[in-house]
Amino acid sequence: MPMTILAIDTALDACSLALLRNGDDAPVVVSEPMVTGHAEAFFSLMDRLFAAAGSNAREIGRVAVTVGPGSFTGIRVGLAAARGLGLAWNVPVHGVTTLDAFAHDLLPSKRSFAVLIDARRGAFYRQLYNASGVSSEPELVSAEAPLAGLGDNVALAGPAVGHIDSQGRERLITPPHLPVSALARMVIEGQSLRLPVPLYVRDADARPQAHAALSRL
């Protein structure tokens, strides 16, 4: 029986889940936009997901979950759910960053690009990618200078791009919400997987520097 991956994202502005069978092209996805309330919505969405897919927990071979950066509470909700399900089902749990999830469908790339996600409180999360994949650590950058330190040839991607002045740089098309099915594809491909531990990038009370990015794991 082909392995089925359950993908979970509660780190940003939605509660999203996907099922993808190894060998299938079309994932089954359920998602509801929300800033808070991920914990309350999670299990009802999972029931909807299994019903829509005609699947059940016995078919799950691996779980993937976003580990951040993103909402502190949302990250913890997703990780707690993923770890609990992995333990209950006795299956491996893999972590994927939110930035890598947005970059997935743009790779491999012939040019360097930066993924930007709104971090709120006057900041963006940012990470750089090139033809080989990841080329920097996740950073917290000021909303006043989100492109500081980037070369003129670096393209821009991610849901925050529409909220900043691109200064003439190319804007690459990415979905407005995190593509949760990308997590499942990354598990199948064995790409950019992490341990299921939180990646916060900033402390709860941290403030971004105006002209220099913070890099904190």
- Read off the CATH number of the domain in which 30 is found: 3.30.420.40
Give how many domains the chain has, as a whole number.
Answer: 1
Residue 207 lies inside a defined structural domain of this protein: no
**Res 1: pLDDT:** 53
CB 158 within 8 A of CB 116: yes
Query: Average pLDDT, stretch 54-63?
Result: 95
Residue 47 lies inside a defined structural domain of this protein: yes
**Residue ranges making up the domain that contains 20:** 4-97+177-189
Q: Indicate whether 78 pLDDT > 70.
A: yes
Query: Average pLDDT, stretch 92-102?
Result: 98
pTM for the predicted model, two decimal places: 0.90
Instruction: State percent of the chain over pLDDT 90.
Output: 81
Residue 107 lies inside a defined structural domain of this protein: no
Q: Indicate whether 206 pLDDT > 80.
A: no
Which residues, including other chains, have CB under 8 Å from residue 112's CB and lie 6 or more apart?
128, 129, 130, 131, 135, 151, 153, 154, 155
Residue 27 lies inside a defined structural domain of this protein: yes
In DSSP terms, which residues pair with 14 in a beta bridge?
33
**Res 25: pLDDT:** 84
